[in-house]
């Protein structure tokens, strides 16, 4: 990206912040504004910690996280006991192109496993008092009504983006709005901390395509084994992503365009949830590469939202600038 392009991008983001949320005029999702976090509040809470009977900075990164959380939530520091993890599930048409070890039917099977309490995340949520919410935003399966499942299906899986655009304009806006409205709904219930995760066979391919489109990096720098494909499988994924990007030419300056052409419904819902949480000053913990793709394109729309995001894994930190 040239210096002039970078300056144009900064001006676009500044204009969006001044106008409030509503980054896409056709999507009337919220009357709320996203506010900047006062940097003096972080210093205020750091001074409170420094006045405690302990060596300075002895709690390490925990102190930085505590100060940032308090600055985000100020003046209401209650609500940390009300924590939610949203796992957005959706199928991907690109899975039909052989990018995964497993068929797309596994998405529904894994969602059922989450709902029955059989996954590792269920154990962690129970241990730490986190309510686990599974959201069907695009699984190619009709679930029976069951506690813990939110059914908000945009469509039964995206289209195969190696052949056509992954979703329509209406579908892209719909999945983002689903995440946004859930964020507002749970914030109204008192959520003080939100985590986002996902499930979807083929979604590492979609996430790699999103990052490659946004950064203009070659797909081989951003494509991994996903479900555990061998070296030949990685080469197949890289070739497919490269050809799809040439076919669709997603605009690196337009996250909506990238989401629509090579994204996934669960990635769009995570994008919406990050934006919704930003309007309500609810911090978001992002789990993994695919969730990071959703958070990153949200951040690309309203860059103040980055201060409310905490990557759960070290590998995700490369996508988020320094928080303070």
pLDDT at position 63 over 80: yes
More confident residue, 32 or 233: 233
- The pLDDT mean for the chain works out to 86
Q: Is the pLDDT of residue 20 over 80?
A: no
Mean predicted confidence (pLDDT) in 88-116 = 96
Whole-angstrom Cα distance, residue 167 to residue 175? 10
Domain made up of 83-319: CATH architecture: 3-Layer(aba) Sandwich (3.40)
The residues of the chain that CATH labels 3.40.50.10210 are 83-319
Q: How far apart are alpha carbons 214 and 296 in whole angstroms?
A: 9
Q: Is 70 exceeded by the pLDDT of residue 321? A: no
DSSP letter string over 224-249?
Answer: --TTT--HHHHHHHHHHHHHHHHHH-
Query: In angstroms, rounded to a whole number, what is the distance separating the alpha carbons of residues 19 and 13?
Result: 10
Percent above pLDDT 90 for the chain = 69
In this prediction, residue 79 carries a pLDDT of 65
For residue 74, give the DSSP letter: T
CA distances from 254 to 200, 202, 231, 273, 309 (A): 24, 23, 32, 18, 21
pLDDT band at 317 (very low <50, low <70, confident <90, very high): low
Q: Mean pLDDT throughout 15-41?
A: 56
Q: Tell me the pLDDT tens digit for each residue of 206-265.
A: 999 999 999 999 999 999 998 889 999 999 999 999 999 999 999 998 999 999 999 999
């Amino acid at each position: 990206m040239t210096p002039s392009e970078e300056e144009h991008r900064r001006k676009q983001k500044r204009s969006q912040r001044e106008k409030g949320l509503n980054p896409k005029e056709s999507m009337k999702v919220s009357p709320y504004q996203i506010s900047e976090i006062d940097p003096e509040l972080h210093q205020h809470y750091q001074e409170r910690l420094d006045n405690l009977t302990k060596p300075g900075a002895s709690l390490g990164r925990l102190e930085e996280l505590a100060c940032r959380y308090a600055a985000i939530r100020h003046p209401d520091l209650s609500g940390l006991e009300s924590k939610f993890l949203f796992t957005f599930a959706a199928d991907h048409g690109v899975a039909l192109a052989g990018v995964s070890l497993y068929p797309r039917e596994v998405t529904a099977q894994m969602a059922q496993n989450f709902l029955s309490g059989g996954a590792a995340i269920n154990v962690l949520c129970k241990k730490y008092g986190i309510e686990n919410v599974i959201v069907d935003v695009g699984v190619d399966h009709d679930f029976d009504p069951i506690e813990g499942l939110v059914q908000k299906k945009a469509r039964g899986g995206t289209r195969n983006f190696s052949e056509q655009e992954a979703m329509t304009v209406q579908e892209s806006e719909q999945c983002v709005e689903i995440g946004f409205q859930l964020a507002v709904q749970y914030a109204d219930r008192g959520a003080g901390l939100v985590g986002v995760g996902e499930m979807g066979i083929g979604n590492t391919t979609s996430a790699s395509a999103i990052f490659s489109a946004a950064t203009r990096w070659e797909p081989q720098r951003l494509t991994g084994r996903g479900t555990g494909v061998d070296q030949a499988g990685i080469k197949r994924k890289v070739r497919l992503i490269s050809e799809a990007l040439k076919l669709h030419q997603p605009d690196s300056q337009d996250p909506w365009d990238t989401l629509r052409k090579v994204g996934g419904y669960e990635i769009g819902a995570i994008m919406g949830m990050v934006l919704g949480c930003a309007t309500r000053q609810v911090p978001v913990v992002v789990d993994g590469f695919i969730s990071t793709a959703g958070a990153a394109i949200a951040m690309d729309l309203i860059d103040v939202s980055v201060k409310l995001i905490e990557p759960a894994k070290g590998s995700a930190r490369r996508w988020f600038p320094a928080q303070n």
